[in-house]
Structure 1
Amino acid sequence: MTNRAHYYLQIKDLAHARGAEPTLSYDGADPNDFAAALQEALRSPLLFQRWRAMQPDPDAVDERLGVTDQLATVSAKVVDLHTDVEVITDLQMSIVRQRMTWLIGTNWQLHDVRHG
């Protein structure tokens, strides 16, 4: 049995979707570029490490928040007037939500989750 989850997300306006902190935020408009940025954020600890360094007491931040999945994959495409994103990962939704929020704030919605 696999722990892999397929998260189906939707971004209404990727061209204007930004996180609250500019140094962590995605800065683009292309679905493929966003997919690459999110995939990197799920596979690599670099975005987490930058966020952690910004905290008042970086040493107090729970290391488990920086978990990554080297096999995570992300694809994105424009459909009608929004961007559909599919994330396949072993990471819990709380971690995916954290990385999405850093990159594009709350400018997205989770539409479905499938396991297996």
Structure 2
Amino acid sequence: MLTRDFKETVKDRAARDPAFAKALLDEAATLFLNGEPHTARLVLRDLVNASVGFEALAVETNRPSKSLHRMLSEKGNPSMDNLADIFGALRKRLRVEIQAHAVAAE
């Protein structure tokens, strides 16, 4: 039986399916806004790997690739400015807009 690493499966699907990539971006934004930055960083990392790549993201955000890797690691702690630039570069690459909507908690 063949098995495949989950991260590779996500990366491949995001690379070939624009709607899936856009859903990952939306999920990362939602996770950040709902107080789950750890998971949001990991989703963003997978999306960067599947779409723009860290080297191109470094050029687009004017930040070192190594720093971006650290920011989106399990123990990363990116500033709001860095997050805004990362989301901006991904939005541009995926050609999407992000709109936040408040929903009352139950």
TM-score, normalised to structure 1's length? 0.33
Name which structure has the greater RCO, CA cutoff 8 Å, separation 6+. 1
Bigger strand share: 1
